[in-house]
Structure 1
């Protein structure tokens, strides 16, 4: 198993594609709201980033020594100001706070998915 660990928070359509591409070079963990069977060398985890306690439970069991890279690419559950705040502010804060061994984290990549999709629709 590879030494470098990547956590992809929001491992749906976009995050799932990234996970598959990275899985040959990294140990990949994909965090989703709803559980999914692990496949393609991707270890799926289930937690809600809006609830710090659910993250703490999952991270303390699976990611005890932390991760090297964090890719945060969630879509809010609704298109409201509160949903965006819950996802992009509270969720990211909870993820970083609950992540074990924060000194191990080398890079955070933040991808606001809803903005990316809207931009693609306008430009594309």
Structure 2
């Protein structure tokens, strides 16, 4: 059944989601502060700022599904609260509540804390170590209390075209990783993340939360060593783990059990394909 969808905050990830939804026969509106000058791929672009409710007065009527996937203006708590809490409230207030059937909120595995070698799934109690995870968890809780069905997708670290920061850090010699104790890293190719969003929107009876990650959590130093070998760079030295990012192994079992298949189940193969 064709839906009228709004992608709120349509950046890099949204630009991969929108054409998939158009190809599936849906009517797709995409909201961002500065839309592209030319219409593309059947996407209907809208200009608006999620932090300014007056700019959302002209959102289309009849939206049945909302995908909320904005990018904060900065890496400070105020910017996160403005976009993930205030912005979410603003867009829901601007839409016709009686017609809105589902909200898919793109969150982050940053809502989970330190778990060492243990596996983490959707039933693991969140304990975010940083402000980003705390704000996202607050937004999840607020959305769950609203009178609309919501689904949360907690994404691992994304990589892909235009998301090669790790490669550049290793190439520049600016990366290090602990070897003992192991620090586990979790990744997901951005194209798999986009496909997962489309998949969850199509489910007749989705669960309330899903983890978006590939099949292969890796010790951080092994991931770095693999990428270094691909680009002919020195193996990054031993050093501290990233701050405010707990070690954990993310389980994608619930997402896979829902019928989703990954194109890139192992980030080592994904990075190799990108660097060919």
Q: Output the TM-score relative to the length of structure 2.
A: 0.39
- Structure 2 residue 32 is matched with structure 1 residue 32: yes
Give the superposition deviation at 1:33.
Answer: 1.0
Structure 2 residue aligned with 1:82, among 74, 78, 86? 78
Aligned residues: 117
Equivalent position of 1:119 in the other structure: 157
Contact 1:19 1:28 in 2 (8 A): yes
Distance in 2 (CA, whole Å) between partners of 1:74 and 1:113 is: 12
Distance in 2 (CA, whole Å) between partners of 1:51 and 1:113 is: 24
* 1:1-124 equivalent positions in 2, closer than 5 A: 3-24=2-23, 25-36=25-36, 37-56=38-57, 58-59=58-59, 63=60, 65-99=61-95, 101-112=96-107, 119-120=157-158, 122-124=185-187
Q: Structure 1 regions of 5+ residues with no counterpart?
A: none
Equivalent position of 2:227 in the other structure: none
Aligned-residue RMSD, C-alpha: 2.2
Q: Structure 2 regions of 5+ residues with no counterpart?
A: 111-153, 160-184, 188-276
40-49 or 29-38, larger mean C-alpha shift? 29-38
Larger radius of gyration: 2
Q: In structure 2, do the counterparts of structure 1 residues 46 and 77 end up closer, same or farther at CA, with 3 Å as the change threshold?
A: same
More helix by share: 1
Distance in 1 (CA, whole Å) between partners of 2:92 and 2:155 is: 25
Distance in 2 (CA, whole Å) between partners of 1:40 and 1:120 is: 24
Q: In structure 2, do the counterparts of structure 1 residues 79 and 118 end up closer, same or farther at CA, with 3 Å as the change threshold?
A: farther
Q: Is the partner of 1:103 in helix, strand or coil?
A: coil
Distance in 1 (CA, whole Å) between partners of 2:79 and 2:90 is: 15
